[in-house]
Amino acid sequence: MLVAIVILAVVLRLWGLGRQSFWYDEWLTTEATSGGLADALRHAANREGIPPTYFALLWGWVRVFGDGEVALRSVSALFGAATVPVAYSAARELGGRRTVARSAALLVAVNPMLVWYSQEARPYGLLALLGALSLFAFARAWRRGRRSDYLLWGLVSAAAVAVHYFAIFLVVAEAAALFLLRREQARRLVLAGVPVVLVGVVLTPFALKQYSHEPNRRWISEFSLTDRASEAGHSGLVGPSPPDGRLWLVAAIVVAIAALLVISRGSRQERSAAGLTAGIGGAAVLIPLVAVVVGLDVFLSRYLIAALVPLVIAVAIALCVRRASWIGGIGLAVLCAVSVGTVVAVARDPELQKPDWGSVAEAFETGHRNRILVLNAHGNLASPLFRYAPDSRPLGDTDTVTADEIDLLAAKPTTKPCNFLVGQACAFIFLGGPLPPHLASTFTLKDTRDLNQFTLRRYRADRPVPLTKPELVSPQNPTDALTLVSR
């Protein structure tokens, strides 16, 4: 059964892996791995908010397998699939029966958030795997207490922190639990924490340099904390891109029923295991929320993904208590149905996916030789177009170009839920401003291209006209507009 669940996890993560274009964050990954290893480290220091470990790892992968969508994302897909048997093993180490462990593995296999980040060329699939491994090692140290178990926990935890700073919150929660449960082995715990401390010391100058770049953190705090916390809860239940905004409520009801089951019908051991895993996962979420109070506001749902596997295991334990009878089974079935339905909907519906910059580039390539593509607000987020339109170049702020065609891009309106934090195409509502008035008398709308996620409006002039970027961008638009010019 575990093999079947792993196969399901692999299928869900490989389905349509290369169908979507890279979004902005993934494009940054391609930028990091396009040069030498030193370039990857400099990129991480200057343009990222995460440690350089993932980029160094992917730099080597690209040299062997290339940097296409499937090649880059397959790393995350492999990590995501590997998380399933680790979750099974962690549940077993926590004292769970095979039924509990299989249920935990199944929920991890189909969880929409874990599937989404298993299909993204970013470190979150690896972070989830290392979080699961850390919980597994924690469970071994708690139940067995051997030096080797503590050493394993320390090494895995250090690796998790090396991949993402937010892993430290899970590690701190596990360390606190180990101290409370195994006080007589405090010395082993301290020694096991040495690798984590060493990694922290090495990364501290790197992290301080990243934090000094205000744009690296400001874009997060520009979204209200309430919205980000709500998005984190919804994403953990039904993923960052559900087809219906009410699905999270169904999943939340199942989780609430699970909590009631384990409290009212669970044995002492079952309540202890569920409470322990829920406490560890919950603490890993609450600590960064508390950090906002002291001015460290970088709270973001995907940064918390290391806490998701412990929380999922807690739900599995609660739904599978021995005295739950048919109620737990129905809850498990409903939760799996909601998860699989969401994953399938995302794979089939372009409105729920990342921006299809490949189609935009293809439409742009059908225009006149002297053509310009204008993304007049926050166009820098469309930088992946440079990858898909290699025959184009950006128009500099002081450059002049002669063109007889201007293409304006606008996102299509949608009735589906739209998450502005994860790169969905629907989030580009700020694109599509009108042609500046002083150009409207020269350029006339000739064609409208209807793409899956965007609408491209094509304006043409009777003769080539010299143009500058300030002339192409509406006065009220920000300075980060993007203008592509055909070579």
From 290, 323, 348, give the residue that closes a domain. 348
Q: What is the pLDDT of residue 429?
A: 87
Do both 311 and 435 map to the same domain? no
Q: What is the pLDDT of residue 178?
A: 97
Do both 157 and 293 map to the same domain? yes
Residues pairing with 394 in the sheet: 484
Closest by CA to 220, choosing from 306, 117, 305, 299, is 299
Q: What is the pLDDT of residue 125?
A: 97
In this predicted structure, which of 180-194, 307-321, 391-405 has the lowest mean pLDDT? 391-405
What would the pLDDT profile of 258-302 be if each residue is shown by its tens digit?
999 999 999 999 999 999 999 999 999 999 999 998 888 899 999
What would the pLDDT profile of 208-225 be if each residue is shown by its tens digit?
988 888 877 788 988 999
Mean pLDDT of the chain: 94
Do both 343 and 377 map to the same domain? no
Do both 362 and 343 map to the same domain? no
Do both 266 and 301 map to the same domain? yes
Beta-carbon-side half-sphere exposure of residue 67 (alpha carbons within 13 Å)? 21
From 294, 315, 348, give the residue that closes a domain. 348
Closest by CA to 54, choosing from 98, 9, 10, 117, is 117
Range of the domain at 135: 2-348
Do both 395 and 339 map to the same domain? no
State mean pLDDT over 38-67. Answer: 95
Do both 374 and 306 map to the same domain? no
Do both 366 and 324 map to the same domain? no
What would the pLDDT profile of 318-363 be if each residue is shown by its tens digit?
999 998 879 999 999 999 999 999 999 999 999 999 999 999 999 9
Q: What are phi and psi of 411, to 5 degrees?
A: -75, 140
Do both 365 and 305 map to the same domain? no
pTM of the model: 0.95
Do both 287 and 393 map to the same domain? no
Tokens standing for residue 249: 């409520």
Residue 477, pLDDT above cutoff 70: no
From 348, 366, 401, give the residue that closes a domain. 348
Do both 59 and 201 map to the same domain? yes
Number of domains in the chain: 2
Do both 305 and 363 map to the same domain? no
Contacts of 481 (CB under 8 A, 6+ apart): 374, 375, 376, 377, 378, 379, 469, 472, 473
